[in-house]
């Protein structure tokens, strides 16, 4: 490959871009906050700006392709871009067309969890694994499945929807997917923040209230995480409950696919064993394949951190450039 690729990641909070070399190393990187209410034209303009920033050293003309991880999917049968429910106000066709018009090279799209999985498969925790599952835990809960070294994407390209598997009773905060009891509504970052607020209302969250400036309604996932790191029992119970729900979903995935590895990424994975511990323990107990010693998939933290998405998106572009 004589030309380089750029990977772009449009997440729930940040938009990132990186110039990535053919070996998967990040040459330059830039990010900014995402404005969810913005128009597709504005979003496209911001992506073009970020691409120009990271390409500044080599010039955009030396870019052979740009991969974009989106909070949505590409319909493989129709070729249309479909955005996830919480981003549905963005006009996907306008976003796609805007980018293809303004960028002087081919642009490829796929879902952000797919991109993170492709990044970890290329140069991260999925290296040398032919069959693995990556889950991403943050504002949303996503997943990527690698079978025989290839991403599994389903008939239309919408799989896997790990975060919207049903794992419990309806939670108080409804999910944008519209189906009560899904994993994302019970164990994502916003769900963890909500559980912290609930604990405070019930008089169990003294430190949580204190660390959110005395305002129980301001308790967020970040507050719960900070308190848990400080050993606060209420925060630890909240994280353990989220971990058990995620672990139960992982046990189902192990029953279904028997992967050799489960890679955990996304912002919440930075908690390390505080969250990975309960996930692993539940996964091992609730999957009979593991409990009875037939299978032993390891559950490990992702290696690329918040750059997995941009690295994977660049890989997507290289896949088309080779
Ligand atoms: Zn849902």
Residue labelled with tokens 């923040």? 193
Contacting residues for 68 by C-beta, under 8 A, at least 6 apart: 7, 8, 9, 10, 47, 99, 107, 108, 109, 110, 313
How far, CA to CA in Å, does 123 sit from each of 29, 58, 134, 271? 17, 23, 14, 22
**174 C-alpha vs ligand 1 centroid, how far in Å?**
8
Q: How many residues does the chain have?
A: 322
pLDDT value, residue 77: 85
**50 C-alpha vs ligand 1 centroid, how far in Å?**
31
**188 C-alpha vs ligand 1 centroid, how far in Å?**
10
Tokens read off for 109: 């799209």
**184 C-alpha vs ligand 1 centroid, how far in Å?**
5
Q: Report how many helices (DSSP H) and strands (DSSP E) the chain contains, helices first.
A: 11, 12
Model-level pTM greater than 0.85?
yes
**107 C-alpha vs ligand 1 centroid, how far in Å?**
29
**198 C-alpha vs ligand 1 centroid, how far in Å?**
20
Per run of 10 residues, the mean pLDDT along the chain (length 322 residues) is 89 88 96 77 88 89 91 81 71 82 90 94 96 94 96 92 90 85 95 96 94 95 96 97 97 97 95 96 97 96 96 97 81
Q: What share of the chain is helix, strand, coil (3-state, %, to 5)?
A: 45, 20, 35
């Amino acid at each position: 490959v004589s030309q380089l690729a750029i990977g772009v990641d449009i997440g729930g909070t940040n938009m990132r871009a990186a110039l990535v070399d053919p070996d998967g190393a990040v040459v330059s990187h830039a990010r900014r906050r995402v404005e969810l209410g913005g128009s597709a034209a504005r979003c496209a303009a911001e992506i073009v700006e970020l691409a120009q920033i990271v390409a500044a050293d080599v010039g955009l003309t030396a870019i052979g392709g740009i991969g974009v991880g989106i909070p949505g999917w590409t319909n493989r049968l129709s070729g249309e871009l479909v955005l996830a429910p919480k981003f549905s106000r963005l006009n996907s066709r306008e976003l796609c067309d805007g980018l293809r018009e303004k960028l002087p090279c081919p642009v490829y799209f796929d879902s952000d969890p797919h991109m993170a999985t492709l990044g970890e498969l290329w140069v991260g925790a999925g290296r040398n694994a032919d069959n693995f599952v990556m889950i991403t835990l943050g504002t949303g809960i996503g997943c990527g499945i690698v079978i025989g070294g290839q991403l599994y994407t389903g008939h239309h390209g919408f799989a896997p929807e790990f975060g919207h598997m049903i794992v419990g009773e309806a939670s108080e905060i409804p999910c944008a997917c519209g189906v009560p009891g899904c994993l994302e509504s019970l164990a994502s970052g916003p769900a963890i923040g909500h559980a912290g607020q609930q604990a405070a209302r019930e008089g169990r969250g003294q430190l949580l209230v204190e660390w959110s400036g005395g305002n129980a309604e301001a308790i967020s996932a970040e507050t719960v995480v900070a308190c848990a790191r400080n050993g606060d029992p209420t925060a630890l119970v909240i994280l353990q409950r989220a971990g058990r729900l995620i672990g139960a979903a992982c046990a189902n995935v192990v029953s279904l696919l028997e992967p050799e590895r489960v890679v955990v990424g996304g912002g919440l994975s930075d908690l390390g064993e505080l969250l990975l511990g309960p996930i692993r323990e539940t996964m091992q107990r609730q999957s009979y394949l593991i409990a009875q010693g037939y299978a032993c998939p390891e559950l490990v933290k992702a290696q690329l951190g918040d750059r997995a998405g941009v690295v994977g998106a660049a890989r997507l572009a290289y896949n088309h450039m080779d």
